[in-house]
Amino acid sequence: MTRSRYFFNSSVIRQNMRQHGWIGIMYTLGLLFSLPLQLFTGSYPDAEPQKIDSLFRVGGNIQMLFVLSLPVAAGLFLFRYLQSKTASDLWHSLPLRREHLLTAHLASGLGLLLLPVWLTAAVTAIVTPLEGNMYIYSGADIWNWCLTVSVVTLFLFVFSVFVGICTGQTILQGIITYILLILPVALIQLVNSHLSMYLFGYPRWSGLSNSLYAWSPLLRLVTYTNDTFSAVEMWTYAALSVLFLALSFVLYRKRSVEKSGQAIAFTYFNPLFKAGVMLCAMLLFGAYFSEVKSRQLNWTIFGYVAGALLGYIAAEMLVRKTWQIMTRRVPLEFAVYGILLGLLIYIPVSGLTGYESRVPAGDRITGVYAGNNYSMYASDPYNGYSSGRASSGKKVPMSGDQQYIEAVRKLHQALVTVRPGDVPASSTVAGYNRGSRMFTIAYQLDNGRKVLRQYWVPALGFEPEMKTVMENTDFKRWEYSLHGLDEGLESFRLTIRDRSVSISEPEDVQEFKNILTREILNMSYEDQSKGQLARTYIQPVNNPIDEQVDGNTGLHYRIYSYSWFSSYKELGSWLEQKGFTEKIGIRAADVKSAEIIKDDYKGKLSPKDINNIEQHMALARQQKLSSVTQDKALITYILQHQLDYTGENGMYVVKLEYKNGEVQHISLDEQELTSALKSLLP
């Protein structure tokens, strides 16, 4: 009984309640305002109650304002005595051991914070059946909300206390607490940016999926309040709370009273603090100067050195609490930190790791993905594939076809041999325009690991390898999301500009689906590379799908989009036969005039006008090298062979002026120009 009184000293707890009880009152009022009260407010009072699957959807981010601020504030105020010499001496003069004192303060804080959460959950449960409640939810939703907010509150409070024990200033405690809560995400982004700039083939978005924010409870709550916390996240935050609680007891016993007012309470944390500040500053400044100066080596090195210097100075001033930091050891210490951190930054992007030239052996590969939709599959929890998982934990389609695996390997080997990313785009303008594409290659290895690379593949120089890959059935099936045509189709909606039409008869829907699938699977490499413009956009209308993913259940609509290209001859004939072409297609009658030029003005315009197509057209008119036609037959041919305008030198450019006032610039391939079109040009 005596031991219990020591650990939960009633006098200490009563004093904390009298002095800091306002925190609990504010937390209670804030949570009651942001949840139960919001259940009865709405823009349309007479609207039918709506069913929700998470109480975090109520009140927007108002809940987060209190959940993310009050627990940290409790840690600041309850342990403020540690940061004041007089208060620290007073509290530590009491006939209590330090672990008893810490336990009493922790119990006070948890009482002030957890009771409001439980009270709010109880009130929410009580008002559930009341008239005027604008939401429909279950008891499980209340339990999930209560458990989530309780665990997050516990974690934030304990983490704030841990930081307070390690620091000696209240303001610095609050700043460092929030910085450390965001630091994992910021550091991952900085490291990814650094690696993507200097490692050939490194995906810039690697690790930057939605799951990245799970590394920060701050960003997780602010950015994804509509998502329910998974069981893994809950257990992780609970385990971290226990860990920081144990560390707090260990460090509190060793904390010297004299450290009150110091930036860092433990001197052996100083090197880690300085190195961390310097590393973040180096990555930030290096990335900035590399981007604004087009990766010029001298400016990049300057950015890293400047970041290291400013980071060291800032950390040193914080530790010493003065700007007068120059001593004999400062230059030597800065040099040591700079060299070690420089090596830490350089070694991963050097050739020592073999990252850039690594191509897995064919007999080790069990699955392969190639295309430009990897990030879409990786971030979509409802894609339905069962083989292969991305770094974000989502499923990515993988092909086990040995011929396709070998085709992708040959393309990969050619890319790492030639390294097209090292060639300035200005030296091969055409090769970096139409036909060029961003390509992601992912291998699933027999040991369960994944190898992921991303390359910018120019149109020129890799035609044989790209042709073999892009004409493969698996490539086209996943690149053009053909699985979207297999999921409870109700109808197809065809749209272009202000026109739309629906295909809804079951026989027509099935026939249209089969033809569209054949057209996509029959596309050649040239069809995929020449930059065809869609004559119509096709959107399948799917039945809602009832699924459970990551603990979330509900109806989900998958939205896919396809295109009707000029190369789809069978589809065009079918649409014309059914009478849809007249309803949806862009006709020559819609076009007022077409003006055609040969775009050879890249080197004849100022840098500010080089990408302004109207300046190209104006220069062609001045030189009498443009022609305007209203011939409906020629305009029909242009519409049937139009390509996406990319600004390549030597391409024929057509300015289409529609009768509704809209203007469009498109390109024509010289090989597809008819004699009638050629005769228009001077």
Question: In this structure, what is the dihedral angle of CA atoms 358, 362, 367, 368, given to the nearest 10 degrees?
Answer: 50
**What local confidence, expressed as pLDDT, does residue 471 receive?**
92
Question: In this structure, what is the dihedral angle of CA atoms 79, 85, 91, 96, given to the nearest 10 degrees?
Answer: 100
**What local confidence, expressed as pLDDT, does residue 28 receive?**
93
Q: Would residue 266 count as lying in a domain?
A: no
**What local confidence, expressed as pLDDT, does residue 1 receive?**
42
Beta strands in 11-88 (DSSP E): 50-51
545-549 and 365-371 strand pairing: unpaired
Same domain, 538 and 654: no
| DSSP three-state, residue 522 | coil
Using alpha carbons, list the distances in angstroms from residue 678 to 19, 341, 675: 88, 63, 5
Same domain, 475 and 486: no
Q: Would residue 391 count as lying in a domain?
A: yes
Give the whole-angstrom CA distance, residue 316 versus residue 334. 10
Residue-wise pLDDT tens digits, 206-257: 545 556 777 787 887 776 555 677 888 889 899 999 999 999 998 888 887 7
**What local confidence, expressed as pLDDT, does residue 158 receive?**
94
Q: Would residue 176 count as lying in a domain?
A: yes
Residue-wise pLDDT tens digits, 548-600: 444 444 444 567 788 888 888 899 889 888 888 777 766 777 888 888 888 77
Domain end, chosen from 524, 550, 584, is at 584
Same domain, 576 and 450: no
Q: Would residue 268 count as lying in a domain?
A: no
Give the whole-angstrom CA distance, residue 405 versus residue 453. 15
Same domain, 507 and 640: no
Torsion 505-506-511-517 (CA) sign? positive
Domain end, chosen from 292, 319, 353, is at 353
What 8-state DSSP symbol labels residue 665?
A: E
Give the whole-angstrom CA distance, residue 156 versus residue 101. 20
**What local confidence, expressed as pLDDT, does residue 220 receive?**
79
Same domain, 647 and 563: no
35 has which bridge partners? none
For residue 654, what are the domain limits? Answer: 588-680
The answer to whether 283 and 308 are in contact (CB under 8 A) is no
**What local confidence, expressed as pLDDT, does residue 161 receive?**
92
Same domain, 141 and 40: yes
Same domain, 396 and 426: yes
Same domain, 24 and 130: yes
Q: What is the pTM of this model?
A: 0.76
Same domain, 540 and 464: no
Residues of the chain where predicted confidence (pLDDT) is lower than 50: 1-2, 207, 382, 384-394, 423-432, 545-556
Kindly report the number of other CB atoms within 10 A of residue 410's CB atom. Answer: 16
Using alpha carbons, list the distances in angstroms from residue 596 to 145, 336, 564, 633, 659: 63, 64, 24, 15, 18
Using alpha carbons, list the distances in angstroms from residue 305 to 88, 173, 198, 290, 297: 41, 29, 17, 13, 12
Q: Would residue 40 count as lying in a domain?
A: yes
Same domain, 18 and 156: yes
**What local confidence, expressed as pLDDT, does residue 504 receive?**
86
Q: Among 366, 555, 563, which Cα is nearest to 446's?
A: 366
- How many angstroms separate the first and last alpha carbons of the chain? 104
Contact partners, residue 537, CB within 8 Å, separation at least 6: 494, 495, 496, 561, 562, 563, 564
Same domain, 25 and 147: yes
Name residue, tokens 């036909």: 435
Q: Would residue 171 count as lying in a domain?
A: yes
Question: In this structure, what is the dihedral angle of CA atoms 654, 657, 658, 663, given to the nearest 10 degrees?
Answer: 90
249: tokens are 């007891």
Q: Would residue 189 count as lying in a domain?
A: no
Give the whole-angstrom CA distance, residue 113 versus residue 34. 16
| DSSP three-state, residue 627 | strand
Name residue, tokens 């994804």: 224
Domains: count for the chain: 5
**What local confidence, expressed as pLDDT, does residue 602 receive?**
63
Q: Would residue 524 count as lying in a domain?
A: yes
**In 3-state terms, the chain is what percent helix, strand and coil (to 5)?**
55, 15, 30
Q: Among 555, 572, 536, which Cα is nearest to 488's?
A: 555
Give the whole-angstrom CA distance, residue 285 versus residue 412. 33
- The amino acid sitting at 110 is L
539 has which bridge partners? 493
Give the whole-angstrom CA distance, residue 300 versus residue 291. 9
Domain end, chosen from 553, 584, 615, is at 584
Same domain, 469 and 486: no
